Amino acid sequence: MVRVKICGVTCLEDALAAVGAGADAVGFNFYDRSPRYVAPQEAAQWSARLPASVLRVGVFVNAPEELIVRVTAEVGLDAVQLHGDETPDFCRALRAGFELRRVRVIKALRVDLAFDPTRARDYAVDAVLLDAAVPGVYGGTGRSFDWERARQVKASIEAELFLAGGLAPHNVAQAVLAVRPDWVDACSALESVPGRKDHAQLADFVRAAKGAA
């Protein structure tokens, strides 16, 4: 069964709603230019209230390694999602440093018409996340992309695949059946207003994803 990550969580209420709906991971955004930014101190308080079985993911964009390591320890993150222009060498070094702590490294790649699926093989990470490319924006756009690119990436990597980009209750089952990703990831499509989740939509999304045969 596919696992579900709910990203861009900005309050404890939404984090608990995601867990209650059956989500397997929640994402906290530590990119200070994002409308979904949360302070590490707040995220640490919410993280402590979540079941140990839920993966706590921190989203970073072109952050220095020192900041990522500090926030990971402060919040108690299980995984870091690098959603900027991080190089394969940066990802490799960060993963090596996290190996003993068992913190996973997820590299997000933005997919447009010029995207080369073989790029994903350059990154020695635990998982690759595919999102739609929008100029000047690092994720959370609600845009989708050609899932054939995702199928090509999945066939070429040994790491897990997170599928993001415009996924919502009405299309997530179709995406799961088309791509067979390890994870699906949703953010803006499940919001009532920017930064706050619609709990009914959230529950519908998890149900549709996990119900895909």
> Among all residues, which ones are annotated catalytic?
7, 131
The Cα-based distances of 201 to 17, 34, 181, 207 in angstroms read 11, 22, 21, 10
Residue type, 182: D
Dihedral angle over CA of 20, 53, 153, 95, nearest 10 = 140
Cα 55 to Cα 38: distance, rounded to the nearest angstrom: 17
Residues 10 and 195 sit within 8 Å (Cβ to Cβ): yes
Strand segments, DSSP code E, in 21-62 are: 25-29, 55-60
Q: Is 173 helix (H, G, I), strand (E, B) or coil?
A: helix
Which helix (H) or strand (E) segment holds residue 81: the answer is strand 79-82
